[in-house]
């Protein structure tokens, strides 16, 4: 367990401690303020180069990482994999060697293979590697921004600031994660973060979309979705990942929706204070009804907005962090 | 003591060990009151003044100076706080300092800004603050008020208002707070 991500890589939230997560959330809060200024840019990473390397399509993660790097004054190299030598059959390792030869400080990387960022981090020890999603493994910045959003909303309701509450707000918080747990790296990162912060996590999914090793995750498995909704403080929805073959794990999308979709009827079961989250992109009408996604419980837009400050915090701590203690 | 330790930024893994107390809480109070009078003396009006306390050590002094100044001028002088962590020139050389909150609510264009800090040493924090403040507009003038000037400048920066000049050696550390000023050493935990 690492107690801080300062000066290190960020591959997975499963190997960082509560202290390290709280540190990112606190730093991100300072960057929220930077993002509210008229000049939303600080010179912190001037002269550093951050490469973004996305082997898998992405809208919000890529844009918010690049925005974050630019607001920290870093230079951003963005490799469009579709029009690069990758198409000529260049291996991941050679691509990494090529871009590190250009003198980069950090690589933000998304890859369809679980473990690819970890492989890269072993090849280039001097470059900070930040995982922006690898296969079905982890999506650590999503887990951090989800935790940040929960803390921000609950602290605001209590009339305080997130950094004043530390991780206290999470103690005893009941978080329900619903949907395609099996294929979801977001679920894995969320669970790592929420558990480290002290929340109780319950998952609910069709048995075919539960991972086979769920018993070792330390989460409760709910079989009655309606009952679980009534007990939840936070509901995290997941996208049904058709590109990873999720379609074959359920009889039909309509059946999935009727049993596990957060419909307008089911929204009424939620406690009035409950938050509804979704990492995006949403399949409206599949895992969530349009009216629920835009409704009073939803904090989905906040999640997107918090992507930039949280990723600024991650870049700041990993790239500017300096090695170890003074 | 725990509260004081938390509020003061220390390089990670070190702790301040006081040797001698140089100023009492009373001395600090009187010095800040004198600085408030000096500010009034130099400025015809306090209406376009903005006090900016630097996080985290400058904050209590900024609060105190704001109280004194507002009492003397009989009007509420604008004030805010600034964290310069993102503007430092030693990013990457040292472990990063955890940032604190920045609250500057006004456009600084055509105002006179007074930066308030606890200890003036190399001048690099003030350099970072000057850079940061330019993001809030083009101030008419920027001045500097510090409780302690301990020397050893590495940049061409001088204070306009000083609580006390304190000759020190580089290996020493100064802990300035409204409860008093101590000199001592930073030692590894």
Q: Which CATH number fits the domain that encloses residue A187?
A: 3.40.50.1370
Whether the predicted pLDDT of B109 surpasses 80: yes
ipTM score of complex: 0.76
**Is residue A321 one of the residues assigned to a domain?**
no
Q: For residue B159, give Cα distances in angstroms to A4, A257, B165.
A: 37, 67, 11
Mean pLDDT, residues A298-325 taken together: 88
Nearest-CA distance B97 → chain A (Å): 9
One domain for residues A103 and A170: no
Range of the domain at A122: 13-138+305-316
One domain for residues A83 and A184: no
**Residue B19 pLDDT class (50, 70, 90 cuts):** very high
Nearest by CB to B87, from A7, A30, A43: name it.
A43
Name the domain count of chain A: 2
Residue of A3, A25, A36, A42 best to disrupt the B interface, most CBs of B under 10 A = A42
Whether the predicted pLDDT of A72 surpasses 60: yes
For B146: left if phi > 0, alpha if psi spans -120 to 50, otherwise beta; the answer is beta
Helix (H) or strand (E) holding B73: helix B58-73
**Least CA distance to A22: which residue of chain B?**
B98
Quote the radius of gyration of chain B (alpha carbons, Å). 16
**Is residue A242 one of the residues assigned to a domain?**
yes
Mean pLDDT, residues A24-38 taken together: 91
Is pTM beyond 0.90? Reply is no
Assess A30–B contact: CB distance below 8 Å, yes or no: yes
**Least CA distance to A34: which residue of chain B?**
B102
Interface contacts (A, B; CB < 8 Å):
66
One domain for residues A169 and A297: yes
One domain for residues A106 and A223: no
One domain for residues A179 and A281: yes
Mean pLDDT, residues B19-32 taken together: 95
One domain for residues A174 and A77: no
- Cα separation, B78 vs B116, in Å, equals 13
**Least CA distance to A320: which residue of chain B?**
B92
Q: For B25-170, CATH number?
A: 3.40.50.2020
Whether the predicted pLDDT of A324 surpasses 80: no
- Cα separation, A6 vs A320, in Å, equals 8
- Cα separation, A290 vs A287, in Å, equals 10
Whether the predicted pLDDT of B18 surpasses 70: yes
Cβ-Cβ contacts under 8 Å for A86 (sequence gap 6 or more): A55, A95
Mean pLDDT, residues A289-316 taken together: 96
Whether the predicted pLDDT of A153 surpasses 80: yes
Are the Cβ atoms of A30 and B101 closer than 8 angstroms?
A: yes
Nearest by CB to A44, from B14, B86, B135: name it.
B86
The average confidence (pLDDT) of chain A is: 92
**B53-76 confidence digits (pLDDT tens):** 998 889 999 999 999 999 999 999
pLDDT of residue A190: 97
**B168-177 confidence digits (pLDDT tens):** 999 999 999 9
Cβ-Cβ contacts under 8 Å for A268 (sequence gap 6 or more): none
B92 neighbourhood in chain A, CB within 8 Å: 319-322
Mean pLDDT, residues A63-83 taken together: 91
pLDDT of residue A210: 94
One domain for residues A109 and A26: yes
One domain for residues A44 and A56: yes
**Residue A280 pLDDT class (50, 70, 90 cuts):** confident
């Amino acid at each position: 367990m690492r107690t801080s991500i300062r000066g290190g890589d960020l591959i997975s939230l499963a190997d960082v401690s509560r202290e390290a997560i709280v540190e990112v959330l606190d730093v991100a809060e300072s960057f929220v303020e930077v993002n509210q200024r008229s000049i939303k840019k600080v010179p912190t990473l001037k002269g550093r180069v951050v490469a973004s390397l996305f082997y898998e399509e992405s809208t919000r993660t890529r844009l918010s990482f690049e925005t974050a790097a630019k607001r920290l004054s870093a230079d951003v190299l963005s490799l469009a994999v579709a029009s690069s030598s990758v198409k000529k059959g260049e291996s991941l390792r050679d691509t990494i060697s090529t871009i590190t030869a250009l003198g980069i400080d950090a690589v933000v990387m998304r890859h369809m293979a679980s473990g690819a960022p970890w492989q890269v981090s072993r090849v280039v020890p001097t470059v900070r590697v930040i995982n922006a999603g690898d296969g079905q493994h982890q999506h650590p910045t999503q887990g951090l921004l989800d935790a940040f959003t929960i803390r921000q909303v609950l602290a605001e309701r209590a009339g305080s600031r997130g950094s004043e509450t530390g991780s206290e707000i999470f103690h005893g918080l009941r978080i329900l994660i619903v949907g395609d747990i099996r294929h979801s790296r977001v679920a894995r990162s969320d669970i790592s973060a929420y558990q480290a912060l002290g929340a109780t996590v319950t998952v609910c999914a069709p048995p075919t979309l539960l991972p086979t090793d769920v018993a070792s995750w330390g989460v409760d498995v709910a079989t009655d979705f309606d009952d679980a909704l009534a007990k939840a403080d936070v509901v995290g929805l997941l996208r049904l990942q058709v590109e990873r073959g999720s379609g074959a794990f359920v009889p039909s999308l309509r059946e999935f929706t009727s049993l596990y979709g957060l419909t307008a009827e089911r929204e009424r079961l939620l406690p009035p204070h409950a938050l509804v989250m979704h990492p995006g992109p949403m399949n409206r009408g599949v895992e969530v009804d349009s009216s629920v996604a835009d409704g009073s419980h939803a904090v989905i837009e906040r999640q997107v907005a918090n992507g930039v400050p949280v990723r600024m915090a991650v870049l700041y701590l990993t790239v500017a962090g300096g090695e170890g203690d003074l | 003591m725990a509260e004081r330790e938390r509020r003061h930024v220390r390089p990670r893994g070190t702790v301040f060990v006081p040797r001698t107390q140089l100023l009492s809480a009373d001395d600090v109070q009187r010095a800040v009151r004198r600085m408030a009078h000096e500010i009034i003396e130099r400025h015809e009006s306090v209406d376009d003044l903005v006090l900016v306390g630097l996080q985290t050590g400058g904050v209590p002094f900024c609060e105190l100076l704001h109280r004194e100044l507002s009492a003397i001028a009989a009007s509420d002088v604008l004030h805010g706080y600034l964290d310069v962590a993102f503007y430092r020139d030693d990013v990457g050389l040292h472990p990063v300092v955890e940032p604190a909150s920045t609250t500057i609510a006004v456009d600084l264009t055509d105002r006179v800004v007074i930066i308030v800090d606890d200890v003036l040493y190399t001048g690099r924090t003030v350099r970072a603050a000057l850079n940061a403040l330019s993001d809030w507009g083009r101030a008419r003038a920027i001045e500097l008020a510090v409780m302690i000037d301990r020397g050893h400048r590495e940049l061409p920066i001088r204070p306009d208002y000083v609580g006390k000049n304190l000759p020190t050696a580089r290996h020493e550390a100064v802990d300035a707070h409204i409860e008093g000023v101590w000199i001592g050493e930073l030692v590894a935990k």
